[in-house]
Copies of this chain bind each other. A is one copy, B any other.
């Protein structure tokens, strides 16, 4: 069933639980590492041909039920006027972190076809290559997660500079969030226009905040994005990590599917969210490195917690790590399909 993933997003019955993986195109695959010997990460993103190739690798090798665009959540920062690079083994570095009103003022809105045309070209090319056999997910980073990189200048553990701006300079904070939200809104609408059949919004680091902070400083900006993306009719997956206490607020902000962190039991999360929304998740990504007995036990546990209810998309709680064995990933795809195979009337 080619549209098993899209049907599950809409909570329709499916012949087997769909499965895909965050970072399913990445360094754990030999084919990807080969390409990275010749090209930087950014080069792969900026070449529609290479991005297409990388996007398709796991679809062909693993039999996942969705392709996800190969790109990086930070790409919009460059056309906004905040260039960055990936330092070797260090993660991203923003050359001039945004820490004052002048920095916020300098950030530009831009037409996605101009600033990120290469991503949209990749989407069109991937859709042609997939030829209707597997649906394509587009994505973007959410405003808080993008802001945390913009402000800290790199990955962070405590988000101290980010939270300080949020608490001390709420007007500046909201101005920054509004710009980021508007950039992301236009970018995602352009992705849908170019052919993305579902969208995932990555608020990967939102778990740094309390529910009060989410409600006060974040929620309206996420809603600004998702309200319009949902109007296009494509399913929207709203994802974060460390979100045990944020799920209800995230649902209010939008999403046809809520992504569940590996540390929040799926049944508990779903019962709190309500069954009028689909859920995605939530195997710990390190369990892919566990022996088959434990891995199998935990995959089945996730499925047991989903209880065969329509609207579960199997995934990890976060992205696949570079050291992961691709055989283990394939094992999970097959196990999920076998365990959940059923007739659909």
Contacts and interface: CB of A to CB of B under 8 A. Distances in A.
Interface of A: 155, 157-160, 163-164, 167-168, 207-213, 242, 244-245, 262-265, 268, 284, 286-287, 289-291, 294, 298, 301, 321, 323
A325 to B, nearest CB: 12
Nearest to A169: B291
Contacts of A211: 263, 265
Contacts of A291: 167-168
Contact of A155 (B157, B244, B298): B157
Nearest to A287: B167
A242 B213 contact: no
Contacts of A301: 212
A323 B286 contact: no
B210 A289 contact: no
B245 A290 contact: no
Contacts of A160: 286, 321, 323
A67 B286 CA distance: 39
A157 B159 CA distance: 13
A290 B323 contact: no
23 contacts: A157-B157, A160-B321, A163-B284, A163-B289, A164-B289, A167-B286, A167-B287, A167-B291, A167-B294, A168-B289, A168-B291, A207-B263, A209-B263, A210-B262, A210-B284, A211-B263, A211-B265, A212-B265, A212-B298, A212-B301, A213-B284, A244-B244, A245-B263
Nearest to A156: B157
A37 B125 CA distance: 60
The 5 tightest CB contacts between A and B, nearest first, are A244-B244, A167-B290, A163-B286, A210-B263, A164-B289
A263 B262 CA distance: 17
A262 B159 CA distance: 14
A264 B245 contact: yes
